[in-house]
Amino acid sequence: MVDTRRDGKVALVTGVGRTVGIGAGIARRLAAAGWDIAYTYWTPYDERMSWGAEPGAADAIGESLAGRGAAIEADLTDADAPARIFDEAERRLGNVTALVMCHCESVASGLLDTTLASFDRHFAVNARATWLLIREYGRRFSGAHGTGRIIGLTSDHTVGNLPYGASKGALDRIVLAAARELAHLGVSANVINPGPVDTGWMSDEARETFLRQTPLNRLGTPKETANLVDFLCSPQGQWINGQLLMSNGGFV
């Protein structure tokens, strides 16, 4: 494979498997702002979800990045995957400056019907992989002091969504710990809760409920989450650190 590395900023964005997804929106926005983008996807996850896999999505997303992207297929239930992802990102683009984590396992189930296998898979992907990606980032970061960025996407789902909500809560704590533990590197770390963003997973009933609960009477878009990520990754966003940011249109 041709080495596409060039001098500049490199962002690793995880969970970029669908052209309409939040991860893809973030990747496109950062590429437009001058970042080279390593992005991960895992088609078998989409295949078992209600929306199904999107044929050719990884290539289409790459084309939308105007030559600034490097796709990496990765199963984040594998504890060795984060190190391999960073190896590949560094080989193709260079050292990673910003880590933006949009990956998730999300299967709706409650206290009484969640299986052990599902619970463990949610924590492997949403919590353990987040920790391992941040650990790998911290071990390898070589950028100038003050340039590093870590951003995780979270959710406040709880009722009827036990393993997802609980594992996302763990993600919050892991990312926010990095704001302190990686302070010596000059890395800022924040969590974004984007609120209800319809990327094809909502039922008509869920959509109507979310609209009623949002003062602006509309749903969020991937572009709106991407705009906030772009700001946090910019020099102007450096002072925002160790925060859980609600970017949800006032959703309650």
SS3 51: coil
> Would you say 46 and 21 are in contact if contact means Cβ atoms under 8 Å apart?
no
164 is catalytic: yes
> Would you say 165 and 157 are in contact if contact means Cβ atoms under 8 Å apart?
yes
Helical segments of 81-221, H only: 81-92, 116-122, 129-140, 162-181, 204-212
- Rounded to a whole number of angstroms, the CA Rg of the chain reads 17
* CA–CA distance, 129 with 196 (Å, rounded to integer): 24
**What is the distance, to the nearest Å, from the Cα of residue 252 to the centroid of all Cα atoms in its chain?**
22
* CA–CA distance, 36 with 11 (Å, rounded to integer): 6
Q: Where are the beta strands (DSSP E) in the chain?
A: 9-14, 35-41, 69-73, 98-101, 148-153, 187-193, 244-246
Give residues with Cβ within 8 angstroms of 95, minimum separation 6: 10, 140, 141, 142, 143
Catalytic residue, chosen from 39, 41, 45, 164, is 164
Residues with catalytic function: 164
